Structure 1
Amino acid sequence: MEIKTEDYGICYDPSTATVSFIGSLRLSGPQEYAPIVQLLEEVADLAQAKITLNLQQLEFLNSSGINMLSKFIIEVRKKARVQMAVQGSQRIPWQGKSVNNFQRLMPSLEWELL
């Protein structure tokens, strides 16, 4: 599963259950984020034990994107059978701030700054 545009790329590696985000997500609202939501929902349905979101190369995520990821994290938390991890980069300021909020939504979420 993969989504590629001029501004961003999202790909799923089933061997590691990792969704990697690259570039800048500046989409305007839920309708434009719908293909990404669909990809994430498919990943959640396939996942056995753990899903990793790799955000290390995601330079920018607007408020609509943060909202989309927050809703996804809540859905994964509701399933209770799947653990979630988020990998981020120390050099990208928004990630540290947002992940604190993600951890409030799912206290068991694992967070790693690389």
Structure 2
Amino acid sequence: MQVKGENYNVWYDKNNGAVSFNGALRLTGMQDYAPILQLLNEIASTEPPNMVINLQGLEFLNSSGISMLSKFVIGMRKKSIQMKIIGSTNVPWQGKSLKNLQRLMPGLTLDLQ
């Protein structure tokens, strides 16, 4: 399962249960983020006990992308899936923005490395 664009790659590794993001996501609106949101929702619909979103390789995410992730996290509050988001302290936008996701879903584990 993969969504790939000119400057980004999002893929699911079934072996470790992680969705990894690489590159820079500068898509224009929520409709352009729909394939990525669909990938995340498809994985969540299988009700895995744990779901990891690895954003360490994502250098940039615009406000539409942050809205897409926020919408996904809010939807996950209704499920019994343990969510973990891995980010990087070396990528400036991640520290501030990812902490906001934790506010949306208090049970979410945030690991900034």
TM-score above 0.5: yes
Q: CA deviation at 1:47?
A: 3.5
Secondary structure in 2 matching 1:59: strand
In structure 2, the residue corresponding to 1:40 is in which secondary structure?
helix
CA distance in 1: counterparts of 2:45 and 2:17, whole angstroms: 11
How much has 1:7 moved relative to structure 2?
A: 0.5
Conserved? CA contact 1:10–1:22, under 8 Å:
yes
Match of 1:97 in 2: 96
Distance in structure 2 (CA, Å) of the matches to 1:47 and 1:66 = 23
Contact 1:3–1:10 (8 Å) recurs in 2: yes
Specify the alignment match of 1:111 in structure 2. 110
Cα RMSD, aligned residues only = 0.8
Query: Which residue pairs with 1:56 in the alignment?
Result: 56
Q: Helix, strand or coil for the counterpart of 1:78? A: coil
Structure 1 distance, partners of 2:47, 2:7, is 27
Tell me the residue number matched to 1:46: 46
TM-score normalised by length of structure 1: 0.95
% identity of equivalent residues: 56
Amino acid paired to 1:2: Q
Stretches of structure 1 lacking an aligned partner (at least 5 in a row): none
Tell me the number of residue pairs that the alignment of Structure 1 and Structure 2 aligns: 113
CA separation of 1:20 and 1:8: change in aligned 2, threshold 3 A: same
Find runs of 4+ consecutive structure 1 residues off by over 4 angstroms: none
Gaps of at least 5 residues in structure 2 are none
Deviations 1:52-73 (A, max 9, x none): 0000000000000000000000
Are 2:68 and 1:65 equivalent residues in the alignment? no
Distance 1:15 1:47, change over 3 A: farther
Task: Report if the CA contact (8 A) 1:17-1:47 is conserved.
Answer: no
* Residues 31-63 of structure 1, C-alpha deviations (whole Å, 9 max, x = no match): 111111110110111242111000000000000
